[in-house]
Amino acid sequence: KNEVEQSPQNLTAQEGEFITINCSYSVGISALHWLQQHPGGGIVSLFMLSSGKKKHGRLIATINIQEKHSSLHITASHPRDSAVYICAVGANFGNEKLTFGTGTRLTIIP
Amino acid sequence: EAQVTQNPRYLITVTGKKLTVTCSQNMNHEYMSWYRQDPGLGLRQIYYSMNVEVTDKGDVPEGYKVSRKEKRNFPLILESPSPNQTSLYFCASSWGSFYNEQFFGPGTRLTVL
């Protein structure tokens, strides 16, 4: 079982819909990242969370440390949001490794 | 422009022929790492480096070597490539450690025949 599980694996929605992508992990963590991988393959960092909530434009990321769960929300979704969204965690037991989920492929239909 | 560069971007090679994929960053970042991405498996960390001369294994280090002789460079070496190392490789860097925003290179698509 992967230490980091994302759901759903694939998501198709209409433009304007509110999107939620979930990430659950099994180990204690020091940091959680949300990444976006464009159709062309490039990867950009969206958020780093260690607690609470962060917002950037139409994107909101939350984390619940006790429940070992994080969500990425997209408000007023747009076709340009179509990408793969990847969750990654850094565990809090002495090493500096990142472990990744397998990603959520989001497609926004105009 | 702040960036992470990788070379080559595409490489087709044959089993056993040593190769090096270079990674360089111009942001004075301490933390650098290499990942491979395979369908259905996602990104997996190969090696990481906390600073010059400090490297450690990630989750899939077998068949790979790295070195960090300068802060800006973190080459990935495949001394005897095999077909199961066919993958998309990404280098990334950040300030300090994995706590901070990760900056990714454009990726290197490697095919080992």
Residue A14 token pair: 């209409």
The pLDDT assigned to A52 comes to 93
Residue ranges in chain B modelled with pLDDT below 50: none
Q: Are B105 and B29 in contact (CB under 8 A)?
A: no
Residue (of A90, A74, A83, A75) closest to A33 by Cα position: A90
Put simply, the answer to whether B99 touches A88 (Cβ < 8 Å) is no
Query: Is residue A1 over pLDDT 60?
Result: no
* Choice among A10-19, A23-32, A90-99 with the minimum mean pLDDT: A90-99
Beta bridge partners of A29: A91
B41 φ, ψ (degrees, to nearest 5): -110, -15
Q: What is the mean pLDDT of residues A34-50?
A: 92
Put simply, the answer to whether A30 touches B102 (Cβ < 8 Å) is no
Tell me which DSSP letter residue B70 carries. Answer: S
B84 φ, ψ (degrees, to nearest 5): -75, 0
Put simply, the answer to whether B100 touches A101 (Cβ < 8 Å) is no
Put simply, the answer to whether A100 touches B44 (Cβ < 8 Å) is yes
Measured between CB atoms, which of A42, A96, A100 is closest to B97?
A96
Burial of A57 per CB tally in 10 Å (0-12, 13-18, 19+):
exposed
pLDDT band of residue A96 (cuts 50, 70, 90) is: confident
Considering chain B, what is the average pLDDT of its residues? Answer: 95
| SS3 category, A98 | strand
Residue A65 token pair: 């440390």
Query: Is residue A72 over pLDDT 90?
Result: yes
Give the number of beta-carbon pairs within 8 Å between A and B.
64
% of chain B with per-residue pLDDT over 90:
88
% of chain A with per-residue pLDDT over 70:
95
The pLDDT assigned to B102 comes to 92
Q: What is the mean pLDDT of residues A72-78?
A: 97
Q: Are A17 and A73 in contact (CB under 8 A)?
A: no
Q: What is the mean pLDDT of residues A65-94?
A: 92
pLDDT band of residue A97 (cuts 50, 70, 90) is: confident
From chain A, which residues contact B within 8 Å (Cβ)? 30-31, 33, 35, 41-45, 48, 50, 86, 88, 90, 95-103
Whole-angstrom Cα distance, residue B101 to residue A46?
8
Whole-angstrom Cα distance, residue B80 to residue B87?
15
Neighbours of B9 (CB within 10 A): 12
The pLDDT assigned to A30 comes to 82
The pLDDT assigned to A98 comes to 87
Q: What is the mean pLDDT of residues A37-42?
A: 88
CA distance to partner chain B, nearest, from residue A109 (Å): 24
Whole-angstrom Cα distance, residue B14 to residue B17?
6
